[in-house]
Structure formats: structure tokens, C-alpha cells
Structure 1
Amino acid sequence: MVTERIPFEELPPSRREVLAKRFGPILDIENSPGGLDSDVAARITTPQGTYYVKGMRTDHPRVWTQAREATVNPAVAGTIAPRLRWRAAADGWDLNVCEALDGRHADYRPGSADLPLVVDLLTRLSAVQAGEDADLRFAEQRLSSYVESPSDLDHFRGNTLCHTDLNNENIIVSEGRAWLVDWAWATRGTAWLDAAYWVIWLIAAGRHDPVTAERQAQQIPAFRNAPPAAVTAFAAANTNLWHEITDGDSDSDSWTTRVHAAAQAWLAHRRPVSCQPL
């Protein structure tokens, strides 16, 4: 679902007034053009600092993602993700306010100086455990409709906090390190999952081939130590998932088509056609 954004200035006056009371007069507003889900996404500057406001109407079908992002933030704030400074739901709006990063989206292309920063980021994230009280789906639930065998789901079980959306626009490079934003699809799973998701995005967004993409991911210990059969099962499940998402879309410029093609290419690398089941 793609949501049509509204400018921050069109939030109800009561919501803007509450923000101004909490953070001080709003001196500057920069509405964000990117993203798919949020009704409002903007960078605001106040006397206290610069913040990123992300909001949805309380009747939005995915408003639950606001609470999920807030729930996981304590585990990653200030080290892996920006710190959540304020959250409130009132007057028909659910708003999260985080510290803003001064940076840019990660460059996934081969040879990019950002790649080692992402390796470091995902290595640190693979050691973060999901809190017992965190309301998260399980990786085996999310992939249950796409595996080739129910037993494949055992490969994905775990209690690591996984981001699962390694689109390069969700990784911000700032002050010599990489940060992860947009935790809407945070999931409880095994420690190597994010590195595996990264492989697909390296192929799709960075124009890597499967060999060089895996070479990057293998620098992350959790992925390097993952059972090969488990990684292949993951590649197969994601090929099936993205096939469903594209639903026969033949537009080669569509980002969903590119990700589907990336998953297919990775699976073909890991399991040549002659070895795939009929």
C-alpha cells in the first residue's frame, strides 16, 4: 500500500501546537518525498534541535507500525537507530518523533565505501535480542506461505531483533557510520536474516551479482556461519514472496520487479536450474 503524503503543515493545529510545546517553536520544516506508508514524514528544526516526525492517521490500516517502531527503539536507540524522543496518539493522528540524522542514503554499489559501514551495522544488529515484551511477528510466520517445505521454517526461528527491510533508503550514513531507520517490519528471527535480506537488496539496488553480494554478507559472522541449506531455503522463500508481490508485473522499472529479479538471480546462483525441483 502506497500512502499519499500530506505536508506537515496540514497536520491538525492541535498536533502542531503540542509539538511546539514539547520541542519549542518550529523554525523550519522539510517534508520528505520518499517512503511508502506514512501519511506525514518531515524533518523539523526547533530551538532544541532537529527531529524527524513520522505519522499516520489512527484509521490507517498500518498504524500499528507506529507502535512497533516505538517498541523496538530502546533496544537500538543511539547505537543502531536514531533515538525516539516522543510519541503520542490523539486527534486522529499517531506521531513518532526521533532525533534527525544529518546524512544520506547508503550507496550499495560495488566498491562503495559505505559497504563496510553496513557490514559493521548488521554485525552489531545480529547480536541484539528482541525484548520479551516486544510485539513482533516471527520470521517463520512471515515466510510460512512461501517456503517449499514446512520444515524450512525451522531455519528462520530465533530471538534476534531483525529489521528485514534492507532497502538502501532505510540505511543512513552519517558521521562515518551507518544507521537503520524505518523499523515497521521488525521481526523476531535468527541472527543471520538481515544479512540475507541485504544480499537481495545488494543485487537489486546496488547492481551486484549474487557472488559479490554474498561475499559482502559473508563478512557478517552470523551469515558466514549459517547452514547453507538454510540460506538456500530463505532465497527460495523470498523468490516466492516477491513473485506474489509483483503479481505478474512486467514493468522492468518497477522496484518490486527488480527485487523479484534479484531474489531469482540469487536462488539460481545457490541452486542451479538443473538441481531445482520440478
Structure 2
Amino acid sequence: MPSAPVDYTRTSARPAFAALPEPVRAEIARLAGAPVQAADPPVGSGFTGSYAGVLHLADGRRVFAKAGGPAMPHVITGLCREAEVVPLLAGLRCVPTLIGAAQVDGWAMLVLEHIDGHQPGMPWSARDADLAHAACLEVASLPPERLEPLHLTGLVEDVAANWGIDGAFGAFARGQRDWPHGIRRPSPEELAELAALAGRAGTALRGDALCHNDVRPDNLLITADRAMLVDWNWVRASPPWFDLVGLWPQMAHDGIDLARFDDSPLLADADPEDIDCFLAVIVAYMIEDVDAPPPPGCTDALRRHQLWQAALFLDLLAARRGW
């Protein structure tokens, strides 16, 4: 099988810790509870240009810090949301501990526990897949009383308002848009079926379970005994299977037999047509702006990621539909 055209350890261009404004660095040290003695190079994963990296403290501890400034208001919004969400998920084994959060001079910052782990998916192993499944199950099993303080938006509302997929496949079928280069173009019959599947989103993606909503290999860290999920700024209410199925296309590409999940509680009440709807929606979402320049702070790897994911989701959908 061909390897991924994206190195997910090198998708971002981030500033070094020393390049952050002095008040920001000082506030991060205050949140961490000790002076910063050294900083590792910023992480290369992710798709923004904000700071994220491991810091070595004078008391011997390591922490993971994130910071975003006024030039990236979307990052500030995300960090503030993560600061709200993570403490409300305390006790889940797959959620890192938030040490502190603050805002200074128009900057937002988080300090989290350091996680000693590796990113899965290079390629996926059966063990990593099972640990990722366990994390998705833990998240989706959170009882309703734990969800109320999160004030979750439904995934359906996101799809309707923000994802720009309405009619996308029809536009391709009518020749109003050119199909992206580098991905197999569906036949007219397949495009019609894709459009019909995407049209189910209003009911297929409705649910009351918590979903991380951005589970991908670079938001996972595999430790000695669990998978940890990071970047908790996109949580939504969804069907319980949503996070897990979002990992299936790359797992399948890497040779993981998806039948290992057949008995998962996450799939107990899942309609296969709803899952296929989700796969179709993600194909549309990924190709919607794949030919546009990347947003400020993002590298070209974002668009390569979108094209690659669209191809993987389309491949899995084709296999499931018998195309």
C-alpha cells in the first residue's frame, strides 16, 4: 500500500518558545508553577502556526504549553474553549490534566500535563487501534449529567451551518465544479449516491453522546496502557460511533481489519446507512476548499491532508457500497 503523502509530524510551522513575548513566557511559567529551564523545539504536528511544545521546568517536571496571539483569533477561541472543557472531563483516563490557563496582552495560553507517548497511524497497529477504540468508547459513554455543563452544540447544526457541503456533490455532477486532481473521480451514478447519502445528515448525524470531533492520529498519543486524546476545543453532541468511525479510513488503509470493532458498544444501534452518510459528508467537507490557499498560519500540508483524507474516506465508502 502507498504511504501517506503527509508527514503528520511536520505539518505546522510554529514559533519557538523564546520567540513568544516575555509577558507570555512569564505567565506560562507562573501557570506551570516553576521557572522554565529549557524548551524543546515546538511540535510539528497540527495545522496552525500557534505555539505548542514541551517545556522543562526548574523543579524537574515537564509540561506541555500552548499559546496563541491576536494575529490568530481562532486559536484564542479554541484555547479558551479547551480551558473550559478539559476540567469538566476530569477523571477520564484519555484526557490530559489542565494545569492552568490564562490570557495576557491579547494572548491565550494553556499549560497541560506532559504525555509520554507516540502518535499512531505511521502505520496503524492493531494494539494502537484497540487503545484508540477504548478512548472513543470512554468519551461516548460519559453520562448525561456530565454533559450538561459542556453546553454542547449538536454536530448536525455544524454540518448544516458551517461545513459547506449542501449540494456539493450535485455541483460536481452538473459540472459546475471541477473534481480535485489527485483523487479518483466518482462516476455519475456514484456522485448521485454520494449526494443522496449526504442528504441524510440531518438525521444520520444526530445524537446525544459526547464526541471529541477532531480525532485523528496527530490528536492521539499512545502511552504504555492507553490512548490519550488532545485538543479538546471542538466537542459536540453526536452519535456514539462518530469519533471511532472517523479513524476507520486510515486504519483500513493500513491493513487493520475493521471487523475487530463489530462487537463494539459504540456500534450497537448504528445504522450502516448513517455511517455511510458520515463518510460521504467528510469527503465533501475535505474537498470543499481543497484548491484554495491555506488559511493564515497554516502550511500547504493542510490541503494535502484534506485531499488524502478525502481519498481514504471515498475508498472506504466505495468498498462498503460495492462501487
TM interval, short-chain normalised = 0.7 to 0.9
2:245 maps to what in 1?
196
1:212-265 deviation per Cα after TM superposition (whole angstroms, max 9, x unaligned) = 2x324435311243111211111121121122142499x9x9222210101111
Deviation at residue 158 of structure 1 after TM alignment: 2.0
2:207 aligned counterpart, secondary structure = coil
The answer to whether the 8 Å contact 1:85/1:99 transfers is yes
1:113-169 deviation per Cα after TM superposition (whole angstroms, max 9, x unaligned) = 222211211111110256324254421122234364655321212222211222212
Q: Which has the higher contact order (CA 8 A, sep 6+)?
A: 2
- Counterparts of 1:152 and 1:50, CA distance in 2: 43
Q: How many residues end up aligned between the 2 structures?
A: 265
Deviates more, 1:49-58 or 1:223-232: 223-232
Q: Which of 27, 37, 43 is the matching residue for 1:27? A: 37
2:100 aligned counterpart, secondary structure = strand
- Counterparts of 1:248 and 1:219, CA distance in 2: 41
After superposition, the Cα gap between the structure-2 partners of 1:86 and 1:261, relative to the gap in structure 1 and judged at 3 Å, is: same
- Counterparts of 2:129 and 2:137, CA distance in 1: 12
1:238 aligned counterpart, secondary structure = helix
2:285 maps to what in 1?
241
The answer to whether the 8 Å contact 2:159/2:201 transfers is no
Deviation at residue 94 of structure 1 after TM alignment: 0.4
1:225 and 2:273 equivalent?
no
1:39 and 2:80 equivalent?
no
Deviation at residue 15 of structure 1 after TM alignment: 1.9
- Counterparts of 1:202 and 1:164, CA distance in 2: 17
Give the share of equivalent positions with the same residue, in percent. Answer: 23
Deviation at residue 14 of structure 1 after TM alignment: 1.5
The answer to whether the 8 Å contact 1:108/1:115 transfers is no
Give runs of aligned pairs for residues 1-278 of structure 1, distance below 5 A.
Answer: 4-22=13-31, 23-30=33-40, 31-46=42-57, 47=59, 49-62=61-74, 63-78=76-91, 79-107=93-121, 109=123, 111-128=125-142, 129=144, 131-144=147-160, 145-146=164-165, 148=196, 150-203=199-252, 207-208=254-255, 212=257, 214-247=258-291, 254-273=304-323
- Counterparts of 1:16 and 1:69, CA distance in 2: 20
Point out where structure 2 has 5 or more consecutive residues left out of the alignment.
Answer: 1-10, 167-195, 294-300
1:276 maps to what in 2?
none
1:131 aligned counterpart, secondary structure = helix
Deviation at residue 43 of structure 1 after TM alignment: 0.7
Give the letter for the 1:123 counterpart: L
2:182 maps to what in 1?
none
After superposition, the Cα gap between the structure-2 partners of 1:50 and 1:230, relative to the gap in structure 1 and judged at 3 Å, is: same
Deviates more, 1:143-152 or 1:133-142: 143-152
Deviation at residue 87 of structure 1 after TM alignment: 0.5
Runs of 4+ in 1 over 6 A off after TM superposition: none
Report the TM-score when normalising by structure 1.
Answer: 0.84
After superposition, the Cα gap between the structure-2 partners of 1:219 and 1:135, relative to the gap in structure 1 and judged at 3 Å, is: same
- Counterparts of 1:107 and 1:232, CA distance in 2: 22
- Counterparts of 1:248 and 1:86, CA distance in 2: 37
After superposition, the Cα gap between the structure-2 partners of 1:272 and 1:143, relative to the gap in structure 1 and judged at 3 Å, is: farther
**Bigger fraction of residues in strand:** 1
Give the letter for the 1:230 counterpart: D
The answer to whether the 8 Å contact 2:165/2:288 transfers is no
Report the TM-score when normalising by structure 2.
Answer: 0.73
Point out where structure 1 has 5 or more consecutive residues left out of the alignment.
Answer: 274-278
2:116 aligned counterpart, secondary structure = coil
- Counterparts of 1:135 and 1:61, CA distance in 2: 21
The answer to whether the 8 Å contact 1:168/1:201 transfers is no
Deviation at residue 184 of structure 1 after TM alignment: 2.9
The answer to whether the 8 Å contact 2:287/2:306 transfers is no
